Structure 1
């Protein structure tokens, strides 16, 4: 049966193995994403349009070489137009989702103290109160001692000082682990105490979440095509085990004295 230390090592090894396999799959790779565009009739009068194009995602191996970190460089062009008597803003960014977040961990121990009982010690099986000791049921040839359990004045039994008691010949049945009344043999008080540390590693895994990463925004001019060009924007996700998903967004907000309006397009999701 594996020890607790072995079990901990297996658990930690499994977590690290998953992390390293994720890291191995995150080699440099550039993918091109499809374009998206939408137009909306606006109650402001006229219409508003929003879109994105030329999106590429360059997946790269993390600098720290840890599988729970993901990195990518993203490039994209977002654009929009308000064909109405209104002002507004164009905003572009990414939604980043992590399946499982690794929170703060702890490393500790729940030690066990193991105190061995010597065979010949006071509480051992061969000691005075043990089953094999002078007072026990299994003492050699006990059935041949007349009325041994009830024998009066047992400490004065003939030759009792020579009885084998506590790894020595105890004097008067009370020898202190040695010969004679005072005893000079092995001292059971020097028996070493063993410690099993029982190490414990705790990882606080939390449900994944989705974060919004804004790349840029720009004021819009009525009737003009407004663009935001982003090249090699660095996206980094830490302490995430399992898939990391990216999805681009582009928003147009239009504002007039009477109406606030908006529109959006979303890119295709992809993983890091």
Structure 2
């Protein structure tokens, strides 16, 4: 027996856990960080404070999109006659990125056993046996034999006739072919991207320079899995003789 089954399915090249959009905005206040480095050009300081992350619901409502508004105060200070820049931003990490959607045909084939079943030959033999029994019953009744002997004889005849074809019955193999279309999500390993806030601010020797950020928008799309962000602040100082740098990092936070 051959059966054709039409189904539609979805498969993915990796098992991932999809997040649901947050029902409401959630603001996280993170602790400050500061470091002072001693250098041949003189000391310099880099730090960050008043960092806040406001996790918001993505506008498209998709489980593969993430949005947040971030605020912070990044600062740096160089001593002596050094020059340089202060720069800040966020590193954004995605667990697994959806790269493409590939349609195709799923060549799934299933095997099964059905039965035991009564085939056409058995039904014909039983029908013929029943007709012969009725004929005997009519002939024997006309001779005046008892109803009990008629019943016993008809039972033996039916049992004999049907027994000749029952040996052909048994489990019948069946094949189910599933040619249904599917969509395959091609997933890439997660990557980390740096998002700079501004182009960097020049440092002024002996003074504290700041980059103040309020509600900077971070948006991530096509990410199948958690997204983690982390703030960074760099001081890159230099003199005619020395280039030096230092950094501080905020707390990793999951969107």
Shorter-chain TM-score range: 0.5 to 0.7
Partners of 1:84 and 1:258 in 2: CA distance: 13
Q: Which has the higher contact order (CA 8 A, sep 6+)?
A: 2
TM-score for the superposition, normalised by structure 1: 0.62
Aligned residues: 186
Q: Which has the higher strand share?
A: 2
Residues 23, 61 of structure 1: 8 Å contact kept: no
Counterparts of residues 50-129 of structure 1 (less than 5 Å): 50-109=46-105
Q: Deviations over 1:15-74 (max 9, x none)?
A: 89x53xx12346410010100000000111x20000000000000010000010000000
The answer to whether residue 30 in structure 2 is matched with residue 33 in structure 1 is yes
CA contact (8 A) 2:92 2:228 kept: yes
1:221 pairs, out of 204, 216, 231, with 204
How big is each residue's C-alpha offset from its partner over 1:201-230, in whole Å with a ceiling of 9 and x where there is no partner?
111011001100001220111111100001
Provide runs of 4+ in structure 1 moved above 4 Å.
none
SS in 2 for 1:241: coil
Find the aligned partners of 1:224 and 1:254 in 2 and give their Cα distance.
Answer: 13
Q: TM-score, normalised by structure 2?
A: 0.66
Any idea what SS the aligned residue of 1:66 has? coil
Provide the C-alpha distance between the structure 2 equivalents of 1:247 and 1:104, rounded to a whole number of angstroms. Answer: 27
Partner of 2:170: none
Q: Provide the rounded CA distance (Å) in 1 between the counterparts of 2:60 and 2:99.
A: 18
Q: 1:4 to 1:235 in 2, by over 3 A?
A: farther
- Report the counterpart of residue 5 of structure 1 in structure 2: 7
For 1:151, the equivalent position in structure 2 comes to: none
**Aligned counterparts of 1:103 and 1:62: Cα–Cα separation in 2:** 20
CA distance 1:26–1:212, change in 2 (3 Å): farther
Q: Is 1:247–2:230 an aligned residue pair?
A: yes
Q: Quick one: structure 1 residues 268 and 76, their matched pair in 2 at CA, closer, same or farther if it must change by over 3 Å?
A: same
Note the residue ranges of structure 2 that are not aligned, 5 or more in a row: 109-119, 122-176
Aligned equivalents of 2:201, 2:52: Cα separation in 1? 21
Question: Structure 1 76/4 Cα, relative in aligned 2: closer, same or farther at 3 Å?
Answer: farther
Q: Distance in 1 between matches of 2:21 and 2:208?
A: 42
Match of 1:199 among 181, 188, 196: 181
